[in-house]
Amino acid sequence: MRAVVIGARGGIGAALVEALAEEGNDVVALTRAELDLTDEATIATTAAKVATAETVVVATGLLHDAEHGPEKALRDLDPVWLARQYAINAIGPALVAKHFLPILPRTGRSVFAALSARVGSISDNRLGGWYGYRASKAALNQLIRTLAVEDKRRNDRGIVVALHPGTVDTKLSKPFQQSGRDLFQPGRAAVQLLDVLDGLKPTDSGRLFAWDGAEIAP
């Protein structure tokens, strides 16, 4: 199987590349140097170069940077930072789907997956805060659902899903890790996610699944 991992330098992305390779797959590891989520031209060019694949995983995400963190309250909202989170967490993966879904097989099993988050579940939001991350991941979940509906017309065996990896020991989660809560090392997280993907059926397309295979409500 040929698998494409976008975000191959991130903690989870790099671990996915390693785990897929260990399973004997032909892995195309793409970093920001080859594909910029905010530049559609690089996405289109890279998809054309890859040409064919059976699995595509978008292992990217933005929660904080050197100047910004998750908003704790309404007063913290900043339009530029909100737009940046949407660009990376929702728009970028949607543009990847625009150009990479067409290179997946039109018959037989294919998989397109994007890393999302439980906090993107509207029904699960009981704590508030984290406005931009929550909203952009909720947008991603809706985009995945919509993509799945359309892709079913292209390949009725295709699977398009969002994945919640849990809290993984990476740069993204480092400032927000809490003692006493499950914290996965990237290698274990990657294997868990691949196990989930291996167990999915076409009827699961369009949904959000956690690292343990449990479906998360929208």
What is the share, in percent, of the chain residues with pLDDT greater than 70?
Answer: 98
Q: Do 131 and 79 form a contact (C-beta atoms < 8 A)?
A: no
- Give residue 81's pLDDT: 97
Question: 17-46, pLDDT tens digit by residue?
Answer: 999 999 999 999 999 999 999 999 999 999
- Give residue 180's pLDDT: 52
Residue 168 DSSP label: B
Helical (H) or strand (E) element with 209: strand 208-210
Sheet strand arrangement including 26-30: 26-30, 2-6, 55-58, 110-115, 158-164, 208-210, 215-216
**Whether this model's pTM surpasses 0.85:** yes
Q: What is the rounded distance in angstroms from the CA atom of residue 152 to the CA atom of residue 174?
A: 38
Question: 165-188, pLDDT tens digit by residue?
Answer: 999 998 787 777 665 568 999 999
Question: 93-118, pLDDT tens digit by residue?
Answer: 999 999 999 999 999 999 999 999 99
Q: How many Å is the maximal CA-CA distance in the chain?
A: 50
What dotted CATH number matches 2-216? 3.40.50.720
Lowest mean pLDDT among 54-58, 128-132, 169-173, 180-184: 180-184
- Give residue 172's pLDDT: 81
Mean pLDDT over the full length of the chain: 96
Residue 84, Cβ density class (10 Å: 0-12 exposed, 13-18 middle, ≥19 buried):
middle
- Give residue 41's pLDDT: 98
The confidence band for 208, taking pLDDT boundaries of 50, 70 and 90, is very high
Q: What is the rounded distance in angstroms from the CA atom of residue 95 to the CA atom of residue 44?
A: 9
